[in-house]
Structure formats: C-alpha cells, structure tokens
Chain A
Amino acid sequence: MEIPYTVKPRPDTGVYNAKIGIWLFLASEIMLFGALFSSYIILRITAPEGSWLEGVLNVPIGFVNTLVLIASSVTIVMAWASLKMNNYKAFQGYMVFTVLCALTFLCIKSVEYNDKFHHYEMWTNAESNNRFTGHFDKSWLAEQKSAYKAKVAQLNADHQKALSSWSQSDKSTPAPVAPKFPEITFFTLTTTEIRNLAAFLGTDSVVFEKEAKHAYKYHGMPGEDTHASNDHAAAGAEDHASSTSAHDDHSHHESLTIPVSEIKRTSAFIPSHSTYFAIYFTLTGLHALHVFGGACVLAYFVICNRKMWKNEPDRLANRIEVGGLFWHFVDLVWIFLFPVLYLL
C-alpha cells in the first residue's frame, strides 16, 4: 500500500503526513520528559536540607557532551540543506558526522556512568572535613575481594570436610553447621557491607581516595560547618587517618586510611543509595536511549536510502527533515539537562 502524502502536503493540514506524525510524537515526548522534570523538581525542593547532592558531576565532561550534541544538530540540518541543493556527497558527509557525534556522546556518557558506579560519598565521625567524596583505593579493594573469596572458599572447604567425616562417623554428635559469612557484592559497597567485610576479614580500616575539596559543594551546608549533627566527642577520623599525599596538590586525589569505626555512613553514586542519582540516571538514561535510537535511524537513512534518492529525492529530504526534528528535540532536552543536573 502506498503511503499517502509523503511528499505533497495534505490539503487540510498543509504539511506532509510524516511531519504531523513526528510533531505528535514529539508532543508526547514533551510530556514524558516533562513528567520526569517535574519529578526532579519535587524531589529537589522537598529534599531535607543538605541532603541534595550538588556539583558532584564532572562539568567538563558534560560541557564537551553538550558541544558534541549541538554540533550534531548543526550537521543534521546541514545534511537536509545539502539534499535540498542536490548535493548527495555533502549529505552523506554530514550524516556520517552526525552519527559519529551520537556515538561519541554515548561513549563519553558510558565512561562517565562507569566512573559514577565507583564513586562514594563518605561521612565520618570527625569534627571537621567529615563529609567528602571519592572512591576506594583500587588495589585495596582488589585485595579485599580476593581475601574475601579465599576465606569463603576456605570456610566452605572446611565445612565439606567436617561434613564428610561426620557422615562416616556414627552420627552421635549433631551435624556440623554450615559456615556463616556476610554476603558482599563488590560492585558497590553499602555501609553495612563495609563493616561486615572488616569484621569478617579482621581488618580495621579502609583505604579511600578522597577527592579535592572544591570538587563538590552542598547548598546551604558548606563542608566545613557540618559538625552540627556530630555528637561524638571522640577525636575525628582526620586525626586518626594517615594522609599519604601532599595537601597542596588539589587536582589529585588524597589517599586516606580511615578506621572502620570512624565511618558514619557511605553512599555510592547509584540510584539505590541516593535520590539525586536515582533521578540523574533516570533522566540521562532515558535521554541516552533517545540518542541511541536516533543514531540508529539516522544511520539507516544514510546507509539504506540511496535508491530513494534516485527515485524520490523529495521524499528522502522529508525523511531527513523528520529525523532531524527528532534529533533537535533530543538536543533540546540535553540543553536543559546539562545545567539542571551538572551546574545548578
């Protein structure tokens, strides 16, 4: 069946059908993102004072990604203009560049996501500087993981041994009890997991790479004045902690050895630990899916629609215009996401 009005405008609407179609779709997209943005507003204005994370995202990365998306928006509209001027070669070039921009955006985003998965916010019992961000020392974490695995394997092996010797005995004594050990997923550690791990392995401190102080801030709660909720008379973790790198080098991480007893709370940069990151991953994840979907469609247009250019050039131009409208919308959403999530 022939699709009507792919080139000629429909008399009653005055535009070709696909254009009405994409605008209807974009209207529904406005409501979809609108619902999430309004959720963001509710979550943010109702967050208890000092609990809303600010400035924890990497601004340069977000900045570069914004420029990448804007550049791709320019090139998609140039691709359409090239078709209108009968320049298929230029069209191809612009389309390939646009798709490459989309892939660049997704690559940068995935690197950023991966970085967030390993980030933590740490509260300690210290009098000052008791709230900071960073990540666990990689080699320390790897050591803990292998030590944990080895100990679990050892306990299980011991149990199997005891079990087999018991089953061969006269069974007058009760059966050996299965060993108990804490379940620990090393993907992101909760506070409880850290305490359980330390108790299980008999370690008394963690090695934490603290980020430079200016790397984050709290609205209405500067980092230095956070001792209000701290009732502990004990000397702070900062006093116990041994700092192994120079204080003056703010661009690098500071390696801290923090006693487990001094850790008040940790929170990973993942949805289950933080409301901010829940809405961050929801908004940016949905947006990234849009980028991926758009890139697939645009790649299809440039790879598979050569025949259409020969037979129905105007129809192809309209396709590119419609694809471009979606692409601009994705760019438009990011224009709001960047300041809202990264800067404000």
Chain B
Amino acid sequence: MSDHDHDIKSHIRTYMIIGAALFIGTILTVAVSYVDFGSHAINIAVGLIIATVKASLVALFFMHLIDEKTAIYLLLSCAFFFFVGLMGLTIWADQNPPNKTQNLQHAPMVEVTVDSQHPSSASDSHPEPVHH
C-alpha cells in the first residue's frame, strides 16, 4: 500500500508541475499575441502551437493518456483520423472554391448546343430539347 501511496504522491507532483506549466502557457499565449512577428499568419501559428502544447499537456497527464491501454489508443486514433480528415477537407474546400466564372462560361455553351440540336431534335424521338 505504501508503494501505491508513493506512486500517487509522485503523480500529484506531476499534476502540480503541469498545472503551473498551463498557467505559464496561458500568460505566454496572451503575451505573444501582442508581439508582432511580421505577419498575421505567423502570430496565428505561434498562438495555435502554444495552445496545442497546452492541450497536449492536459491530454497526456491530466487525462492519463501518457500511460493508457491499447483499446483507448485505438479508439482515439479513429477519432484523430476523422478529425484530421474534417480539417483537411475544410482547408481543401477553401483551396478549391466553386468557380463562378467557369459556370457562367457554361451557360452560353449550353444554349449553343440546344440551338444546334433543335433541328435534329425535331425529327428525333425526343420532342423536348434535352437541355432545358
């Protein structure tokens, strides 16, 4: 039992250190947001990196993920896969916006096809033009 107690006591020391690190991390996040790194994108990146480090500390030590069973890791890797997919698709969607000018270019093209098909469609089995 004393061995178990000792184990818990070393845990508590870890919790205190992580808690202090999170406090310092929070102060750091606010501090660096007032520093101009030259570009707004770098400021965002620095802020997100600090947040990720803080979140990792919480997940690894407070949520005991540093020493967990395989089943939990398996479950979380699924969640991680879908989360990365969600964010990746989001950013990909922004890189590939629906091209409005392209759609506009399509419009007259369709009309031209309809016009050229009109004489043939009259003799065809289709009484209505296909594009409508």
- Mark out the residues of chain A between 321 and 344 whose CB falls within 8 Å of any chain B CB in the assembled complex: 324-325, 328-329, 331-332, 335-336, 338-340, 343-344
Mask of B10-37 contacts with A, CB within 8 angstroms, 1/0 = 0110011011001100100110010000
Residue contact A19 to B72, C-beta cutoff 8 Å: yes
Q: Which of chain A's residues have a CB closer than 8 A to the CB of B11?
A: 81
Residue contact B29 to A338, C-beta cutoff 8 Å: yes
Assess whether A15 is interfacial by the CB under 8 Å rule: yes
Q: State how many residues of chain B have any CB contact under 8 Å with chain A.
A: 46
Q: Which of chain B's residues have a CB closer than 8 A to the CB of A111?
A: none
Question: 19 A-B contacts, Cβ less than 8 Å apart?
Answer: A14-B70, A20-B75, A24-B75, A27-B76, A31-B82, A31-B83, A41-B91, A42-B93, A59-B30, A66-B26, A77-B15, A331-B58, A331-B62, A338-B51, A339-B29, A340-B47, A343-B29, A343-B47, A344-B47
Contacts A15-B69, A77-B62 given; indicate if A339 touches B50 (C-beta within 8 A). yes
User: Which of A73, A81, A84, A335 has the most chain B CB atoms inside 10 A of its CB?
Assistant: A335
Q: Which of chain B's residues have a CB closer than 8 A to the CB of A19?
A: 72
Assess whether A34 is interfacial by the CB under 8 Å rule: yes
Residue contact A35 to B86, C-beta cutoff 8 Å: yes
SS of B interface (majority) = helix
From A85, A325, A331, contact of B8 by CB (8 A)? A85
Q: Which of chain A's residues have a CB closer than 8 A to the CB of B44?
A: 344
Residue contact B72 to A20, C-beta cutoff 8 Å: yes
Residue contact A27 to B75, C-beta cutoff 8 Å: yes
Q: Which of chain B's residues have a CB closer than 8 A to the CB of A336?
A: 48, 51, 55
Q: Which of chain A's residues have a CB closer than 8 A to the CB of B89?
A: 38
User: Which of B9, B16, B63, B79 has the most chain A CB atoms inside 10 A of its CB?
Assistant: B63
From B16, B19, B26, B78, contact of A63 by CB (8 A)? B26
Q: Which of chain B's residues have a CB closer than 8 A to the CB of A63?
A: 26, 30
Contacts A67-B26, A70-B23 given; indicate if A14 touches B69 (C-beta within 8 A). yes
Residue contact B79 to A27, C-beta cutoff 8 Å: yes
From B22, B33, B87, contact of A70 by CB (8 A)? B22
The 9 A-B pairs of least Cβ separation, nearest first, read A27-B79, A343-B33, A74-B19, A38-B90, A14-B69, A13-B71, A339-B47, A328-B62, A70-B22
From A27, A41, A328, contact of B58 by CB (8 A)? A328
Q: Which of chain A's residues have a CB closer than 8 A to the CB of B48?
A: 336, 339-340, 344
- Mark out the residues of chain A between 60 and 83 whose CB falls within 8 Å of any chain B CB in the assembled complex: 63, 66-67, 70-71, 73-74, 77-78, 81
Residue contact B90 to A74, C-beta cutoff 8 Å: no
Cα A343 to Cα B33 with chains together (Å): 6
Assess whether A308 is interfacial by the CB under 8 Å rule: no
Residue contact A332 to B30, C-beta cutoff 8 Å: no
Cα A340 to Cα B33 with chains together (Å): 11
Assess whether A46 is interfacial by the CB under 8 Å rule: yes
Smallest Cβ distance from B82 to chain A, in angstroms? 6
Residues of chain B at the chain A interface (Cβ within 8 Å): 4-5, 8-9, 11-12, 15-16, 18-19, 22-23, 26, 29-30, 33, 40, 43-44, 47-48, 50-51, 54-55, 58-59, 62-63, 69-72, 75-76, 78-79, 82-83, 86-87, 89-91, 93-94
Residue of chain B at shortest CB distance from A9: B69
Q: Which of chain A's residues have a CB closer than 8 A to the CB of B16?
A: 74
Residue contact B29 to A23, C-beta cutoff 8 Å: no
Cα A331 to Cα B93 with chains together (Å): 30
Assess whether A161 is interfacial by the CB under 8 Å rule: no
Q: Which of chain A's residues have a CB closer than 8 A to the CB of B83?
A: 30-31, 34
Residue of chain A at shortest CB distance from B15: A77
Q: Which of chain B's residues have a CB closer than 8 A to the CB of A34?
A: 82-83, 86-87
Smallest Cβ distance from B105 to chain A, in angstroms? 23
Assess whether A175 is interfacial by the CB under 8 Å rule: no
Cα A84 to Cα B9 with chains together (Å): 10
Q: Which of chain B's residues have a CB closer than 8 A to the CB of A228?
A: none
Cα A24 to Cα B43 with chains together (Å): 34
Q: Which of chain A's residues have a CB closer than 8 A to the CB of B50?
A: 339
Smallest Cβ distance from A338 to chain B, in angstroms? 7
Residue of chain A at shortest CB distance from B83: A34
Contacts A31-B86, A34-B86, A85-B5 given; indicate if A335 touches B72 (C-beta within 8 A). no
Cα A220 to Cα B59 with chains together (Å): 36
Residue of chain A at shortest CB distance from B43: A344
